[in-house]
Structure formats: structure tokens, C-alpha cells
Amino acid sequence: MFWLKTRIIEGKGSLEKLRKEAKEHERVLILAGNSMKRHGFLSEAEDYVKEAGAEVFSITGLPAEPSVETIEEFLPKVGEFKPDLLVALGGGSVIDTTKALKVFYDAPELNFEEIAFLDRFSKPKPVPKLKTKLIAIPSTSGAGSEVSGASVLKKGGIKYNIVTPEIAPDVAILDPRLPMTMPREVARNSGLDVLVHGIEAYTTKVANDFSDAMAIRAIKTVFNYLEKSLEGDEEAREKMHYAATMAGIAFLNARLGLCHAMSHKAAWIGPHGLLNAIFLPYVMEFNAERSDYARRRYDEIARELGLKDWRALIEAVRELNERTDVPKLSELVDEETFMARLDEMAEKAYRDGLLAFNPVEAKPEEIKELYLRAFRGE
């Protein structure tokens, strides 16, 4: 099956389409990242909503990581305003927060713990039909949250996932003016995450021809445009913005694998995309050495890029990391702290829902070894 709920609007200046989208609505709530306010995109969006004849209420100053506590704090204000359209204007965490807010706003009777996944052994209850329309306008190019039906949310320091088509945005507006504001490091980390999304989505057990098309185009775009995008090239940054959503569509259908399981559990060490970039070559080697299917799939990606085989692909990934100054894992965390949490990370990565889609079923001991190799930089 190939599935996409979100209508995608793209192009320079396409933020303006919010005017048309807001037309049938009376009260529009915008959740915006701080940088969107700073660069004037929030007030631009508010103007479009007003021009459409709707009332607008904006929330900014959200914490970096979405949490149930944040949602509970904002919910009374939102309930008072009674929006009939939710707009998320910002990075992945602003979009994830808006998705979770939609759940609690539309279905206040739901018990969070019952509908959320903690790991792959959880059996959450289905989420009922939710009615409020949601528009996502991403300001970074990486997370794919603008098309996915997933929201990662913390409660009491523990990360939960809500996964349901009900929270997939109805519309995504991809205006390349927004990601132009990303600092180089954010563009690098999220851009490398796009590569990992593409490569992992292409090699899961449930990949199909349709998700492959999205994954391959995203992978090629990263190799062709990421570095130019980091130099501030406008066209390259636009291409990367679209590639991020394409990779999102790929993994929304084909899911992800061991690399993401490992980076999720190591999230305390550093930025998501950066950890993925560090772990990817180790995970690829691990998969390729144990699975004919993984080798064949990496060979296919390699040929699409004009490379010889899977070994050359892994080398190309390593070289891209080097050229974009990806640090070593040991530069991000000291040995003692890392070793103290190693067993726990490996055990939790083993329990991550994504492991079921990886071409190889990794055991906790093997995951531990991969973490260690990444730390030693072998």
C-alpha cells in the first residue's frame, strides 16, 4: 500500500496560499516557532488569515521539545478561542506539538497513555475521528512531520509516539523562503537526516516501488544539492526542502530502521540528524554483511548514484559526512558517560518499534557493539 493524506502546495512565496486555505474558516490558531516570528513570517501568515476574513490567534515561545505538559498548559487558551483551523509554522517540533494539540483539543476524553506507543510491544487503543483541519508549514527541511501521521511527545521525561492518520496534516505548504533562515548547522543536520530517511526507507522490509521513487529522488537530491545548500545557494536549499518532504512520504509508507532506533535512544547526546549521520555507515555495513536483500537494495541505490556497489555507497556516505564536518561521536560525549548508559541504550533501541522494519533483526548485544564501534570511530 502507498498512502498520502496531505495535499502539497510548493513554490517560492506559496505561504500566500494560506489566504485561500483559511477562507472557509472562522477562527485560525497558529503555533509558530520563534525564528518564524523573528523573520516576519508569522506576521505575514497572520495577515493572510485576516485577509481571508478569519480571526487569528497565535502561540509562540514553545519549548524545543514537545511535551504533554506544554499541551496541557496551552489547552485551556485554545479551548477558549475554539479554532476551526490549526496552522503549524515552524520546525518538526512545532508541527509535532500542533498534531498532539489537535488530539487533545478534538478528543479531550482520550487518555494519553492509552493511545501512545512506548515501544514496539505496546498495544495502544485506536484514535477516533478528529475533525479540526491542520495545515503544516515547515521552516526546516528534514523531519518529514508535514506529511506523517506521527508525533513524538514527552511525558515526565519519557518519549511516547502517537501514530494515526488522523493527525497527518491535511495540507503542507512548502515555501522555500522559510528554510533559507536555517543556520548552516541546522541545515546540515536536517539535510543528513533526509539522506538517512531515504536510505532506510529504501531498505526496509515493507518498501515498495512507490515509496522507492520518493526515497531515491530524495537520496539523489542530498548528494547533488546538500553542500551547495549549506553555502546558502537558494536553488539548492529549495531542492533540499522538497527532498525532505519526499523522504517523509517515503518513510511514512516504508518506515525506517535500525539507524533511527539507535539515534532515538541516543537523543540525549546530540541533534537527531547528526546522530543518524554518525550511525548510518555502521548500520549499513551491519545490514549488508547479514542480508542479501539489504546488499541488493544498497547496490540499487549505488547504481542510481553512478557508484559501483554497496561498498562504494557506504564510502560515499562516509565522505559526505567528512565534507560536511560531521564530528565523531566521541567529540559529542565523554567515554565515562557514554559507557554508563550503553546497555540501557542498546536494550531500548532493541525495543524500538522501527526495528521490526529493519532488513536484519538486530539483537541487543549487536546493537551495543554498533554503538561501541561508532564511539571508537572504527
* Location of C-alpha cell 485577509: 51
Residue that is written with C-alpha cell 541533534 in the block: 271
CB of residue 197 to Fe ion, shortest distance in Å: 6
Contacts of 14 (CB under 8 A, 6+ apart): 173, 174, 175
Q: Other C-beta atoms within 10 Å of 119: how many?
A: 15
The count of residues interacting with Fe ion (CB under 5 A) is 1
Q: Smallest distance from the beta carbon of 354 to Fe ion, in angstroms? A: 10
Residues written for the chain: 378
**CA nearest 15: which of 191, 136, 190?**
136
Region of 154-162, 189-197, 287-295, 317-325 interacting with Fe ion (CB under 5 A): 189-197
193 or 352: CB nearest Fe ion: 193
Please name which of 42, 126, 59 lies closest in space to residue 97, comparing C-alpha atoms: 59
Least distance to Fe ion, CB of residue 172, Å: 17
Binders in 86-105 for Fe ion, by CB under 5 A: none
81 contacts: CB under 8 Å, gap ≥ 6: 27, 29, 57
Range in contact with Fe ion (rule: CB under 5 A) among 22-30, 82-90, 188-196, 309-317:
188-196
Only segment of 32-40, 91-99, 176-184, 186-194 that touches Fe ion (CB under 5 A): 186-194
Closest approach, Cβ 211 to Fe ion, in A, equals: 15
Q: Which is nearer to Fe ion, 96 or 193 (CB)?
A: 193
Nearer to Fe ion, 166 or 193 (CB): 193
- Edge-first strand listing for the sheet containing 7-10: 7-10, 171-174, 133-138, 85-90, 27-32, 55-59
Q: At closest approach, how far in Å is the CB of 190 from Fe ion?
A: 9
State the maximum Cα–Cα separation within the chain, in Å, rounded to a whole number: 60
CB of 49 to Fe ion, least distance (A): 31
Which residues, in sequence order, are bridge partners of residue 133?
Answer: 85
CB nearer to Fe ion: give 175 or 193.
193
By DSSP bridging, strand 27-32 and strand 85-90 are: parallel
Lookup: cell for 375 = 564511539
Nearer to Fe ion, 193 or 238 (CB): 193
- In the complex with Fe ion, which residue's Cβ is closer, 31 or 259? 259
Strands 27-32 and 55-59: parallel
What's the min distance (Å) between Cβ of 123 and Fe ion? 25
Cell representation of residue 205 = 522490509
Distance CA 198, CA 213 (A): 10
In the complex with Fe ion, which residue's Cβ is closer, 86 or 254? Answer: 254
Nearer Cβ to Fe ion, position 15 or 284? 284
Rounded least distance, CB 272 to Fe ion, Å: 6
- Applying CB under 5 A, among 193, 200, 212, 299 the residue interacting with Fe ion is 193
Q: One symbol per residue from 318 to 357: x for binding Fe ion (CB under 5 A), - otherwise; what is it?
A: ----------------------------------------
Q: Name, in order, each residue with C-beta under 8 angstroms of 84's C-beta and a sequence gap of 6 or more.
A: 25, 26, 27, 28, 132, 133
DSSP code of residue 17: G
- The span of 2-10, 154-162, 191-199, 308-316 binding Fe ion (CB under 5 A) equals 191-199
Q: Which residues bind Fe ion (CB under 5 A)?
A: 193
